[in-house]
Amino acid sequence: MVTLNHYLILAAILFCIGFYGAVAKKNAVAVLMGIELMLNSVNINLVAFNRFLNPGEMTGHIFALMVIVVAAAEVAVGLALILNIYRQRLTTDVNDLDWLKW
Protein backbone atom coordinates (compact mmCIF):
# COMPACT_ATOMS: atom_id res chain seq x y z
CA MET A 1 0.00 0.00 0.00
CA VAL A 2 1.30 3.42 -0.96
CA THR A 3 1.22 5.88 1.94
CA LEU A 4 1.78 9.61 2.24
CA ASN A 5 5.40 8.97 3.23
CA HIS A 6 6.10 7.34 -0.13
CA TYR A 7 4.83 10.42 -1.97
CA LEU A 8 6.80 12.74 0.28
CA ILE A 9 10.01 10.77 -0.21
CA LEU A 10 9.50 10.79 -3.98
CA ALA A 11 8.88 14.54 -3.94
CA ALA A 12 11.96 15.13 -1.74
CA ILE A 13 14.18 13.11 -4.09
CA LEU A 14 12.79 14.94 -7.11
CA PHE A 15 13.29 18.30 -5.39
CA CYS A 16 16.92 17.44 -4.52
CA ILE A 17 17.63 16.42 -8.11
CA GLY A 18 16.06 19.65 -9.37
CA PHE A 19 17.98 21.73 -6.83
CA TYR A 20 21.23 20.11 -7.90
CA GLY A 21 20.37 20.80 -11.54
CA ALA A 22 19.56 24.44 -10.82
CA VAL A 23 22.65 25.12 -8.71
CA ALA A 24 25.39 22.98 -10.22
CA LYS A 25 24.75 23.25 -13.94
CA LYS A 26 26.26 26.03 -16.05
CA ASN A 27 23.86 25.80 -18.97
CA ALA A 28 20.83 28.10 -18.66
CA VAL A 29 18.49 25.52 -20.16
CA ALA A 30 19.62 22.94 -17.59
CA VAL A 31 18.96 25.49 -14.83
CA LEU A 32 15.40 25.96 -16.12
CA MET A 33 14.93 22.19 -16.22
CA GLY A 34 16.07 21.96 -12.60
CA ILE A 35 13.55 24.62 -11.59
CA GLU A 36 10.83 22.69 -13.41
CA LEU A 37 11.72 19.53 -11.49
CA MET A 38 11.44 21.43 -8.22
CA LEU A 39 8.02 22.78 -9.22
CA ASN A 40 6.88 19.27 -10.15
CA SER A 41 7.92 17.99 -6.74
CA VAL A 42 5.75 20.71 -5.20
CA ASN A 43 2.85 19.48 -7.35
CA ILE A 44 3.34 15.94 -6.07
CA ASN A 45 3.21 17.25 -2.49
CA LEU A 46 0.06 19.26 -3.14
CA VAL A 47 -1.81 16.37 -4.70
CA ALA A 48 -0.58 13.86 -2.11
CA PHE A 49 -1.61 16.02 0.84
CA ASN A 50 -4.96 16.65 -0.78
CA ARG A 51 -5.52 12.92 -1.30
CA PHE A 52 -4.67 11.93 2.26
CA LEU A 53 -5.98 14.91 4.25
CA ASN A 54 -9.06 16.06 2.27
CA PRO A 55 -9.97 13.31 -0.19
CA GLY A 56 -13.36 14.82 -1.04
CA GLU A 57 -12.04 18.23 -2.10
CA MET A 58 -10.04 19.32 -5.13
CA THR A 59 -8.03 22.10 -3.45
CA GLY A 60 -4.63 20.48 -3.93
CA HIS A 61 -5.37 19.67 -7.55
CA ILE A 62 -6.39 23.26 -8.26
CA PHE A 63 -3.23 24.61 -6.63
CA ALA A 64 -1.16 22.11 -8.64
CA LEU A 65 -2.85 23.30 -11.81
CA MET A 66 -2.00 26.89 -10.89
CA VAL A 67 1.64 25.89 -10.33
CA ILE A 68 1.69 24.22 -13.75
CA VAL A 69 0.35 27.40 -15.39
CA VAL A 70 2.91 29.58 -13.63
CA ALA A 71 5.68 27.13 -14.54
CA ALA A 72 4.65 27.21 -18.21
CA ALA A 73 4.73 31.00 -18.20
CA GLU A 74 8.11 30.96 -16.46
CA VAL A 75 9.55 28.60 -19.05
CA ALA A 76 8.18 30.65 -21.94
CA VAL A 77 9.74 33.86 -20.61
CA GLY A 78 12.95 32.10 -19.60
CA LEU A 79 13.43 30.46 -22.97
CA ALA A 80 12.75 33.76 -24.75
CA LEU A 81 15.42 35.42 -22.62
CA ILE A 82 17.87 32.58 -23.21
CA LEU A 83 17.32 32.74 -26.98
CA ASN A 84 17.94 36.50 -27.03
CA ILE A 85 21.05 36.11 -24.90
CA TYR A 86 22.31 33.34 -27.17
CA ARG A 87 21.80 35.50 -30.26
CA GLN A 88 23.86 38.30 -28.72
CA ARG A 89 26.53 36.34 -26.83
CA LEU A 90 26.58 32.97 -28.66
CA THR A 91 26.61 31.13 -25.32
CA THR A 92 24.13 29.92 -22.73
CA ASP A 93 26.75 29.52 -20.00
CA VAL A 94 25.44 31.14 -16.83
CA ASN A 95 28.93 32.19 -15.73
CA ASP A 96 29.36 34.29 -18.89
CA LEU A 97 26.20 36.31 -18.22
CA ASP A 98 27.86 39.01 -16.15
CA TRP A 99 27.42 42.16 -18.21
CA LEU A 100 24.99 43.65 -15.66
CA LYS A 101 27.58 43.57 -12.87
CA TRP A 102 29.09 46.91 -11.80
Answer with the residue of higher pLDDT: 98 or 43: 43
- What would the pLDDT profile of 60-92 be if each residue is shown by its tens digit? 999 999 999 999 999 999 999 999 989 988 988
Domain assignment of residue 10, yes or no:
yes
Query: Which CATH number characterizes residue 31's domain?
Result: 1.10.287.3510
Helix/strand/coil for 90 = coil
Total domains, the chain? 1
Confidence of residue 102 (pLDDT cuts 50, 70, 90): low
Q: 101 lies in a domain?
A: no
Residue 102 lies in a domain: no
Q: Which domain holds residue 30?
A: 4-96
pTM of the model: 0.88
Give 95 or 3, the one with higher predicted confidence.
Answer: 3
| CB atoms closer than 10 angstroms to residue 9 | 11
Task: Tell me what pLDDT residue 52 has.
Answer: 95
